[in-house]
Amino acid sequence: MYYYIHLSTKAVGGDIDAFGATFPGVPMVLFGHNGQVAWAPTTSLYDVADVYLEILDGDTVSFLGEDVPLIEREEVIRVRLADGSVEDRSVTVQEVPHHGPLMPAESLGLPLPLNISIRWTGFQARSVARAFYELEEAQSFDAFRGALDHYFTGGMHWLYADVSGSIGYSSFTSIPVREVLDPDAPPITLLPGDGGYEWLPAEGGPDPFLTLTRDEVPWTTSAPDGFLASANNDPVGQTDDNDPFNDPAYLSAIFDLGTRVQAPARQLSALISDGGVSLEELGMVQLNTLSRPAERLLPFLSQAADPPPGPRRRPDGRGPGALEAWDYACSVEAVGPACSTPGSPCSSATCSAMRAAASSAICSSPSSTPAW
C-alpha cells in the first residue's frame, strides 16, 4: 500500500520539494514529481538472482572439485508478541561462501530434502536511498538517469517526463554477467551448485562480480510513437524470438507477455492519431481494465466449448451467454471476468474450458503506473 506525501526541505534551506507516493515509514518520494520532472516505475523482472542445488556433505559443499566449508552465523530477530512485549529470537544461518544463504530444507515444503542456496545482487551492502534523494532534486533527464545509477537492487522500468515536454526511460540496476548462458540449464531454473554456472568476477569496483554497464541496461529518450509505456514487459524485445540468450547482453528470460502494456499503447496511439491526448483522456487510459487475453482467447474458447446439457444460463446470469456478451472490461460489476476465476460458481462448459486454458490470467489488472 502506498501513501501520498509532500516532502519539502525548502523551509530549512534545502532543495527538495517533491510530491508523490511512498511506502509507510519511508521518508522519500518513491514516484511522483518535483514540479519540474516526474518519474514512475513498474517492475522490470530483470534476472538478478540465481538459485543453486548444492551437494552438501556435513558442513561442506562441493565446488569445483573441492569441499568448501559453510559459513555459519547467528542472527537475532526481534519479534513483537501478542501482549505487546518484544522477544529476541536467535536463528542459525548457514551460507555457501561463493553463492549465498542456504535455505533450510524444512522451509521449502518439498517431498524430498533439497539443499538450495541463493545468490542475489541485493545481498551486497549497498543502499538505494541516494537514488531517491537525487531523483527528488533532478531537473533534467541526465540528472534523472544519473540518480538511477545508484539504484542497484530491485530492477525497475522508470518513465520520465518534464515540463518542457521531454520524455524518457531508464532501467539501470545491478545485473550480473554469467560465465555461461546454457539453454539446457538457464539462469531461471535450479542451477548446479558445484561449478560451471557462476557470475564472472569483477576486477575492482563496489561488487565482487561483474555487472552490465549502464549503457548495456536499456534506456532511451526516443519516442517514435509519441509516447513511452511500461508494464513489466520486455523493454527491447529480447524474448521476441523465444531465445533470450542470443543477444549481446542477457537481461532476463521472463517478462510479462506484453498484454498489459498493449492496451494503453493501443489507446494512446489511437488518441494521438485523432489529434492529441488530453489530461482527462490520460486518466481514462490509466483506469482502463480491458483484458487483452480475454479479447484474444475468448472467441476461440467459446467456439471450442461443447454445448452443455440443459439450460444455457444459470439463475445468477452466469453462463456462455454472459461471456459472449462480455465487452472484455474487468469492471467490478462484470460477470465475465468472474467466470474466469478458478473456484468461481460459474460451471458452464465455456467457463470450464476457459479456466483450463487460461487459468486465472484472463484478467489483467490496471497498471499501477501511468503509461505515458
> What would the CATH number be for the domain defined by 49-120?
2.30.120.10
Q: Please, what is the average pLDDT of the chain?
A: 85
Question: What are the phi and psi torsion angles at 199 (to 5°)?
Answer: -90, 140
| Grid cell listed for 142 | 541526465
CB 5 within 8 A of CB 19: yes
pLDDT tens figures, 336-360: 777 654 444 444 444 444 444 433 3
User: Distance (Å, rounded) from C-alpha 172 to C-alpha 212?
Assistant: 9
| Rounded Cα gap, residues 216 and 208, in angstroms | 19
- 3-47+124-275 and 49-120: same fold? no
What is the CATH T-level fold of the domain 3-47+124-275, as seen in this structure?
Answer: Glutamine Phosphoribosylpyrophosphate, subunit 1, domain 1 (3.60.20)
Grid cell 501520498 is found at: 4
pLDDT at residue 326 tops 90: no
69-126 pLDDT per residue, tens: 999 999 999 999 999 999 999 999 999 999 999 998 888 888 888 999 999 999 988 8
pLDDT, one tens digit per residue, over 190-211 is 999 999 999 999 987 788 999 9
Place of cell 531523483: 135
Express the helix, strand and coil content of the chain in percent, nearest 5 each: 25, 25, 50
The pLDDT score that the predictor gives to residue 339 is 66
124 contacts 152 by C-beta, under 8 angstroms: yes
Distances (CA, A) of 2 to 28, 29, 40: 12, 10, 13
Strand pairing of 190-192 and 49-53?
A: parallel
More confident residue, 127 or 38: 38
pLDDT digits (tens, 9 = 90+) for 121-131: 999 888 889 99
pLDDT, tens only, 225-254: 999 999 999 999 999 999 999 999 999 999
Domain boundaries, the chain: 3-47+124-275, 49-120, 276-372
Q: How far apart are CA 202 and CA 32, in angstroms?
A: 35
H helix count then E strand count, the chain: 9, 16
Which three-class secondary structure state does DSSP give residue 194?
A: coil
Q: Is 143 in a helix, a strand, or coil?
A: helix
